[in-house]
Structure 1
Amino acid sequence: MKPKMIKLIRILSDYTEFVTASSLAANMDVSTRSIKSYIQEINSFYPDAIESSREGYRIDKQAARRILEESGTHIPQSSQERIVYIINSLIKSDTSVNTYDLCDEMYVSYSTIKNDLQAVKSRLRKYDLQLNNNHDNLTVSGLEKNKRRLLSSILYDESNVNFVNLETIQNIFPEIEIELIKDSLLEIFDRFHYFVNDYSLINLVLHITIAIDRIRNRNVNTEDIHDMPPISSHEYELARNIARKIEEDFQIEYNQAEVYELALLLISRATAIDYQSITVSNLGDFITPECLALVKELISDVNSFYYIDLTEPEFLIRFALHIRNLLQRSKNNYFSRNPLTEEIKTSCPLIYDVSVCLSSIIKERTGISINDDEIAYIAFHLGSTLEAQKNLSEKVTAALYCPSYYDTNVKLTDTINRHFSSELLITNIFTEERELEKAGKSDLVLSTVPLNSVIQLPLLQISPFFTEKDVQSLRRQLTEIKTNKRRKQFREYLEYLIVPEFFERRDDLTDYDQVVRHMVGKMVSMGYVDEDFEQDIRAREQLSATAFQDFAIPHAMKMRAHKTGINVLISDTPVRWGDKQVRIVLMLCFNRDERFIFNEIFEPLTMVLSSRENVKRLVTAGDYQEFIGMLAGFMEF
């Protein structure tokens, strides 16, 4: 379909009421005659897509979406999608982006883009970034790290669409009974003493569903497994049992290569209660050094540009196996069909765009061109991992040590989840104490028996029957862990802002003028502010004194420091500050690109210092570390 017609469809999609031909012509800078011609041609291909009346024209929304999808134009189709597209274009471009070019790329009118730019400006402002418009040539100014923080936030927001839940999979594959696959997996895991968390279970169900779809469509894995590292008979038997059940339920046949791939898939996602599975250390036994180096380069690239850490072992193993299989499929000139492609493109454009960038790296290193379906699989891995990361960051993670029969482990896990599913995620189940060394990244260890050794992680002993007393104990433990996490983050902010050189104890500065002159001088000498900062401090003080009871927080009204920091002075003798006598002075300076830190720290800091008891104790701090520790410890969450 011609670009002009696509643009007309996009413009009509923005309206719910009828639009006159003259209005459409003005929007598109063409004649009304051309508008009528375009509409006639569109309706010849898609009858009744555009309705006409004496009031003008109106398009059927569903028809518009179908036309755009069928024409292969995967362009933003809502205001929110356009905002993400514009932000991504601006941040990734080395030069200015022209407003009219955006209109052409997204097939929308100039007025639509102007409205979207207001929302873009608001979104940028939250990350201390500024939208510049010079005669419709757009740029973004601000710190590079803030640009990446913004892209990172968009990626995590997109992962919220949860395109990997069981209901979505069922809608995409209506002829495959998804619940049956899930139930079969859980039943066989139970029999083989395997544990899988909810996130990994959904991933397994999706991949097995796709395998069923592939085999039904005669796209069978023909890899020669004799060239591959042998797999333990225990886990191969697990895969064989699942394959038999899938064959029986869905009337398909798993060959040896399919069973081998299923075994790799299982041991990268499920935790064997009594078996050592694939780890980062032995991953090289299953994929080539070249493939592993490529995977690490891809992960490093995402981290360096988007500030997203994908080195978590489960993702690394799963992603490495996926890239290995992708490269193997390419040798046979076979790529997987992906029914999620259109949905991911539409609902997660930035995640998809990141995946396109990764596919270009793969092409540079291997010469393999990857199609849209395979790119969408990469997007799926990224999206599901970001979603899991977000959930993990909001939940406390725990390893369960329960040296008893497996069904007891499962029942105990289910009982705990019924009480704490929104707060706690059990990531591993162990039946031997020596295995607890694998629980290093967990926040907590739950054990049904006393331990013989000492572990570094918080430990809570519970009954195998998880009584009401256990519920209360675990609730208290979760509250304490969450509080400590927030306190740790606040301390990290403090250590970033208050460098050791900015902590000082004096007894010879007795009034406001001496203190301000001295503290500003230090900040100037360390390159944080210019000399006119003192004038800014005094101007703010004249409007309203920044002294509160026993402390003062002098700061400028404008955030134009070179660096963000807090200069701390403790006076052994009270300092005259207007009509107050202060013992602690915290002089703040903020760079406008780091306003988010100001928002995070200013209010809690003043709340801590508003307690005279806290100030009395802070005055006794003997050194920098003790002061930071006290300040963080006083925080109430």
Structure 2
Amino acid sequence: MTAKYERLLEYLAETTDWVTAGELADRLGVTTRSVRSYVTSVKTAAKPLEVIASSTSGYRLNREAYASFLAGLRVRDAEPGSPRDRVHAIIRGLGDAPDGLDVYDLAATMYVSESTVEADLRKAKLLVEDAGLGLTRRGSVVALTGSELNRRRLLSRLFRDESAQGFLDLQNIQREFLSGDLTAFKSALIEMLDGNGYFVNEYSIDNVLLHIAIAVDRVAKKQSIGPGDEDARPASATVRDVAAQLDGLVRAHFDAGLSPRELDYLSVLLTTRVLTPGHDQPAEAVADSYLEPDDLAAMRRIVRLASEEYLVDLDDEDFIVRLSLHIRNLVARAQEKSFSRNPMTRSIKSTFPMIYELAVFIASQIQRREGIVINDDEIAYIALHVGSHLERQNLREERVTCAIVCPNYYDMHVILRQRLEAELGSELQVDVVITRADVDWAALSSDIVVTTISVPAARDNVVVIQPFLTKGDIEAVRRAITTVRRHRRRMLLKDELLQYFDERLFRRNLHAGDESAMIRTLGDSMVALGIIDESYVEGAIERERMSSTAFTDTIAVPHAMAMSASRTAIAIVVNETPMTWGENRVNVIALIAFSSSGRRAFQTVFDQLVEVFSDRDDVQRIVRRATDFASFIDELVHVMDT
């Protein structure tokens, strides 16, 4: 499928509601006629499966049929006749043939014409050159040129491209490259690493297992790393230790012997992508053993700056040491332009925009210090460090207060309270237990009321449960807690956010050529009002280049990392037709300018603005009805109040 077909199906997969052709056209940046054409093509390709249902209300995905369709696509792509598989097969064949392959032989082997092979070679050339390799031609013979390491990196990329998004499938890796049990090897490897006192990054280990599988396969085909391939620096004691133990595991599980060069190369991948030393050791001991004093001092300075800019408490030695170890490996990867993939990047970015923004700030400081480039996947790993630290501090949300109404009968109310606190104690604080049946419901001020008796008048915050708590009751209370928290956030946002909008900074159906042009256009309106200067605009563009501020599929929130505005304000554009922003197409663009005095509002406004505009139906309502500034505010308040 083309990218447009995939995006259509992905967008339909995001909702269980009907989606109109117009909405799909806006999201894909095409006409409604094209949408109908795409739907027809998908239906034809999926027959006899009914993947997309059509009606006067629009289109809706049949999820069971869609899952079967995707499974069929993966099987089809693995068949020798598919176009992508032909290109990948040619590249793999060239990698296994030092003297090259004959075009006519390739055509005969694949049962296609010579012109088809020539077209496939042109596609292969783009992939090959992007990996730092080349194709040479002598008559009808084509050969692959370049280092063995680049060949392996290309194989790794091809395999990942053939895999579904997210975590790699170990069984697929095993079928492609190995005869041994890769799952058993992984278990033994983790046990060995854990026994040596390492934290293991489960998000990255499967990618390194792919490299190990490729290495075993290539060495079996007499394609080993050459003297010019590996790092010229001597291996560290850590790498040598890991290499020695890795050698034993590879021999035991795959009956293969790798050279010291191969083992050092794979051990460097493990130590820079997967391993963090110091498990069960105090932070001070870890720092003394594994970190340079200058690096640790630099990280303390960066963390202090982040804490001051975003008013969060990151001053924790264990956090700083663990993050420093991660950054040490990140810098090593960046210097080799060999980043770790993170299958959670998109969800981290859209679900925790403020934490991701903190990670962007930290990454920007590291970039300047080290002279490197840090991509979105690596920023998301920093966000995981920051988020887990903040979660441990329990800064995100306070517990919800609860009143229990349970008429006295022996100790039923005591048992009920104990069960609730055992199940939901980290989220719920019981502040009153009423054991009478004549309840003054209006006098109850707790966030939620959990009652075993019916309530005369319906109340949104009341959960009626059984006298003996069931699993269904627990889930009902948990849903009520979620609703209260969401309402709290919305009300806080409403109080904070509305004061930052200005009719002079509201635009509808304003379009620009690209992200930078839009930022400049919105920035000029703020400059004219004396809110920011040109340096803030340039800072917002610089921030955008680091990582797209399209945190969801509907809104982009460009901003500078310096809080230098004269006052906090938001310039906002609401467009009926979305514009391309990074990898997304967004209807709403909100340029935020924060003043130094507005630091305390930053987290609330930033996080919750993204949350409000993350609901597809809410955004569509605002886009349709916000025809001017007054109606925009009305619709925004309505969305926040619901």
TM-score by length of 2: 0.32
Whichever of the two has the greater Rg, that structure is 1
Higher relative contact order (CA 8 A, sep 6+): 1
